[in-house]
């Protein structure tokens, strides 16, 4: 860090901290702890922005300040807070735009209306010498000097001196600079802006083809683009969602045990559009997802593609067991709750054919798993006559030495044995207990990484019955829910109730655009745009554990979580904050990514790398220079993404380095 940049950062940190001290003066004692935490966080943030120019560093620091204090400022006081902050910041902002009020080689330090200069001083005779302007520029930027000047055979020492003359604030140049600072700070702080003037309303549809049932839901989503200090990304934020039509529910139609009846599904969807009074061309975006036992059918991918074939408006997925766990955790609201309250949660989404488990730590889904435990694996009527036996139920019957077939009546005793076994297997998975042979046979994924002591929540159809038992649905769902509740009580398992339970319904896909930084992207010349409907795979890299091996394992885990085999389809790997911005780390990250994408690279498939940090250009250049990925590479940064997002990347804008990115996020109840 140069002396200039260090003093610049310290000056702004001190100004922001001083303003908060004045704002919270006389308030409750806990605010004092917040102030100290803020000071530490600001200093830590300032260390990350040394590569930016002075103004860029200033604005990045304001962005960090916004993130730190946004939740602490009362909504009704926000305008007064921002206006007062602006008047404090105007002198410092002017100072960051150094060189505009005086000759080009004069430095104006932040927060001061005095000007300073650099001179050379002989270490032997103390004689002073002027420094040429172009050399000062090198010094200001922290560059190594190409030539070392000597006097008495000793290198001259650089010294900062104060120019006694005050800057004349009455000059036209100064007044113009102040006006520019005033206007720019108004924009950065959102003063005088009306967020409601920039909005977008879209119609979205969510289509869920599940193990037991299929249904649609139409919604109107309102997005506001808040151009303000508290939303510096200027992205559209979801403001409200209104269900327009929540239609009929049908049993997922099958031709046989291995094939979905595509024709009947399409007919049902068309009928629901008519009942909703919505034409297909009126739908702006949507999502169709096939889950559970239906995802195993031979034509699952075909039916999803056919339903979603709507000019690229839809995102679609055949949700494998791990991705369905992700959807259950998001849809139940447990990811949001875990982040808000900083707690560990194990969410189990129990449907007709599977139970999908997600362990959530501070808002991050750290592991997932799926087991064939569901309410409709064994179908029985009110007389206990069996009308359906799915393969997992057959496995349990065999292990329990029970022999039943379609049409047989099953005794209550045997029925309880079957339900108890399904429950035992599920609890073994939740608690990380030694699995029985039956449990191993029912697993659809590897066993997950357990979060000991996690609070448990249940969603899905059986999850609804766990909290609110009622009715009979010609299956074992109610019996399974009742037995599971009994076991949780006996084992004293801490349980919470999600807001959304029965099919934590995907309302659809909301879309909004944001423009990423144009200075830090990297794109191979052979890439064609636009790129549409690419699933985002967040890669959970722990900076404290950083190594090539750790990155490779994190990437493999991301593919598994979304049930995608590397090289089978184009995906976007997203690294929120993977490493420290140092060359040795960047090289290791680039190498680990290329090793993890061996098949994609061999097949010359498009590789998309997204970053929350300002890393895209560095990573792209390094991969290209080292020959790790020579073509079909897209690297973009400054993005804020999450599980359940898809992206479109548009044609580059006029500078050929800035890309419009549309993010399609799954929206839940």
pLDDT tens per residue across span 445-504: 999 989 888 999 999 889 989 999 988 888 999 999 999 999 999 999 999 998 776 655
Provide the 3-class DSSP secondary structure of residue 555.
Answer: helix
User: Which of 146-155, 367-376, 593-602 is predicted with the least confidence, judged by mean pLDDT?
Assistant: 146-155
pLDDT of 80: 76
Nearest to 427 by CA among 364, 492, 473: 492
Please provide the DSSP assignment of 214-241 as one string: EEEEEEEEEEEE--BTTBTT--EEEEEE
pLDDT of 233: 46
Going by the DSSP 8-state scheme, the letter that residue 107 receives in this structure is B
pLDDT of 27: 63
Residue 561 CB contacts under 8 Å (≥ 6 apart), including other chains:
322, 323, 325, 326, 365, 368, 537, 643
| Phi, psi dihedrals of residue 420, rounded to the nearest 5° | -60, -40
Please provide the DSSP assignment of 186-197 as one string: HHHHTTT--GGG
Tell me the C-alpha distance between 428 and 434, whole Å: 7
> Within 10 A of 198 (CB to CB), how many other CB atoms are there?
14
pLDDT of 347: 94
User: Which tokens hold the place of 28?
Assistant: 């409750």
Q: Which fold would CATH assign to domain 196-319?
A: Nucleotidyltransferase; domain 5 (3.30.420)
Do the domains spanning 196-319 and 324-506 agree at the CATH topology level?
A: yes
Residue 440 in this model has a pLDDT that exceeds 70: yes
Q: Which residue has the tokens 């930016």?
A: 52
Residue 512 in this model has a pLDDT that exceeds 60: no
**Interval 131-138 mean pLDDT:** 64
Residue 390 in this model has a pLDDT that exceeds 70: yes
Strands 259-260 and 572-575: unpaired
**Interval 576-601 mean pLDDT:** 86
Which has more pLDDT, 663 or 382? 382
Residue 537 in this model has a pLDDT that exceeds 60: yes
Q: Using an 8 Å Cβ cutoff, are 415 and 394 in contact? A: no
**Interval 562-572 mean pLDDT:** 91
Q: Which fold would CATH assign to domain 324-506?
A: Nucleotidyltransferase; domain 5 (3.30.420)
Tell me the C-alpha distance between 534 and 570, whole Å: 7
User: Which tokens hold the place of 422?
Assistant: 């399904």
Nearest to 443 by CA among 353, 354, 371, 391: 371
> Within 10 A of 564 (CB to CB), how many other CB atoms are there?
18
Residue 553 in this model has a pLDDT that exceeds 90: yes
pLDDT of 311: 40
Residue 23 in this model has a pLDDT that exceeds 70: yes
pLDDT of 209: 81
Percent of the chain with pLDDT strictly greater than 70: 74
Confidence of residue 193 (pLDDT cuts 50, 70, 90): low
**Interval 368-387 mean pLDDT:** 93
Going by the DSSP 8-state scheme, the letter that residue 331 receives in this structure is H
**Interval 94-100 mean pLDDT:** 57
Confidence of residue 84 (pLDDT cuts 50, 70, 90): confident
Confidence of residue 110 (pLDDT cuts 50, 70, 90): very low
**Interval 45-68 mean pLDDT:** 69
For the chain, which residues make up each domain, given as ranges?
A: 3-105+170-192, 115-163, 196-319, 324-506, 516-668
Which has more pLDDT, 518 or 10? 10
> Within 10 A of 383 (CB to CB), how many other CB atoms are there?
6
pLDDT of 101: 37
Beta-ladder partners of 378: 389
Tell whether pTM > 0.85.
no
Strand spans (E) along 230-362: 236-246, 250-251, 254-256, 259-260, 285-290, 314-318, 344-350, 355-361
pLDDT of 494: 94
Tell me the C-alpha distance between 136 and 117, whole Å: 9
Q: Using an 8 Å Cβ cutoff, are 441 and 422 in contact? A: no
User: Which of 32-41, 306-315, 459-468, 592-601 is predicted with the least confidence, judged by mean pLDDT?
Assistant: 306-315
């Amino acid at each position: 860090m140069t002396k200039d940049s260090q003093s610049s950062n310290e000056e702004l940190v001190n100004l922001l901290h001083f303003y908060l001290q004045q704002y919270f003066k006389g308030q409750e004692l806990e605010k004092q702890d917040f102030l100290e935490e803020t000071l530490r966080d600001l200093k830590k943030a300032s260390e990350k922005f040394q590569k930016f120019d002075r103004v860029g560093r200033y604005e990045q620091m304001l962005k960090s300040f916004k993130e730190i204090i946004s939740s602490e400022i009362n909504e009704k006081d926000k305008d007064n807070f921002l206006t007062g902050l602006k008047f404090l910041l105007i002198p410092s902002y002017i100072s960051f735009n150094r060189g505009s009020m005086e000759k080009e080689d004069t430095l104006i330090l932040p927060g001061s209306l005095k000007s300073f200069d650099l001179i050379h001083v002989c270490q032997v005779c103390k004689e002073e010498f002027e420094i040429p302007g172009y050399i000062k520029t090198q010094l200001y930027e922290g560059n190594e000097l190409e030539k070392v000047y000597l006097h008495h055979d000793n290198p001259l020492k650089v010294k900062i001196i104060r120019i006694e003359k005050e800057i004349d604030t009455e000059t036209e140049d100064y007044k113009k600079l102040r006006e520019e600072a005033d206007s720019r700070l108004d924009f950065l702080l959102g003063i005088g802006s009306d967020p409601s003037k920039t909005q977008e309303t879209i119609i979205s549809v969510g289509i869920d083809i599940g193990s037991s049932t299929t249904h649609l839901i139409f919604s109107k989503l309102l997005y506001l683009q808040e151009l303000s200090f508290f939303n510096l990304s200027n992205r559209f934020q979801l403001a409200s969602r209104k269900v327009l039509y929540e239609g009929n529910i049908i049993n997922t139609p099958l031709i046989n045990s291995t094939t979905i009846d595509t024709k009947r599904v399409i007919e049902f969807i068309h009928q629901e559009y008519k009942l909703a009074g919505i034409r297909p061309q009126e739908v702006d975006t949507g999502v169709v997802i096939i889950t559970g036992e239906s995802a195993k059918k031979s034509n699952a991918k075909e039916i999803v593609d056919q339903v979603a074939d709507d000019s690229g408006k839809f995102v679609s997925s055949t949700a494998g067991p791990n991705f369905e766990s992700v959807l259950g955790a998001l849809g139940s609201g447990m990811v949001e709750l875990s982040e808000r309250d900083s707690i560990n949660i194990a969410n189990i989404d129990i449907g007709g054919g599977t139970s999908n488990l997600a362990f959530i730590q501070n808002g991050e889904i750290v592991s997932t798993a799926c087991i064939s435990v569901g309410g409709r694996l064994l179908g029985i009527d009110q007389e206990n006559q069996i009308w359906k036996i799915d393969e997992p139920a057959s496995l349990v019957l065999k292990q329990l030495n029970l022999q039943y077939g379609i049409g047989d009546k099953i005794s209550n005793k045997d029925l309880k044995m079957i339900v108890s076994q399904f429950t035992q297997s599920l609890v073994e998975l939740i608690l990380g207990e030694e699995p029985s042979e039956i449990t191993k046979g029912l697993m659809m994924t590897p066993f997950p990484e357990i979060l000991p002591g996690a609070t448990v929540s249940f969603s899905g159809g059986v999850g609804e019955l766990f909290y609110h038992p009622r009715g009979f649905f010609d299956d074992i769902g109610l019996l399974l829910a009742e037995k599971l509740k009994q076991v949780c009580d006996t084992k004293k398992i801490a349980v919470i109730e999600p807001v959304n339970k029965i099919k934590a319904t995907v309302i659809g896909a909301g879309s909004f655009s944001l423009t990423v930084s144009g200075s830090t992207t990297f794109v191979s010349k052979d890439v064609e745009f636009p790129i549409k409907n690419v699933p985002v795979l967040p890669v959970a890299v722990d900076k404290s554990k950083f190594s090539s091996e750790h990155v490779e394992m994190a990437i493999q885990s991301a593919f598994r979580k979304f049930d995608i085999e590397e090289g089978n389809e184009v995906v976007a790997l997203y690294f929120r904050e993977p490493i420290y911005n140092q060359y040795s780390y960047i090289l290791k990250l680039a190498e680990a990514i290329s090793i993890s994408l061996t098949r994609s690279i061999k097949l010359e498939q498009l590789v998309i790398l997204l970053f929350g940090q300002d890393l895209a250009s560095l990573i792209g250049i390094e991969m290209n220079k080292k020959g790790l990925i020579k073509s079909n590479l897209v690297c973009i940064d400054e993005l804020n993404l999450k599980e359940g997002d898809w992206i479109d990347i548009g044609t580059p804008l006029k500078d050929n380095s800035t890309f419009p990115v549309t993010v399609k996020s799954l929206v839940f109840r």
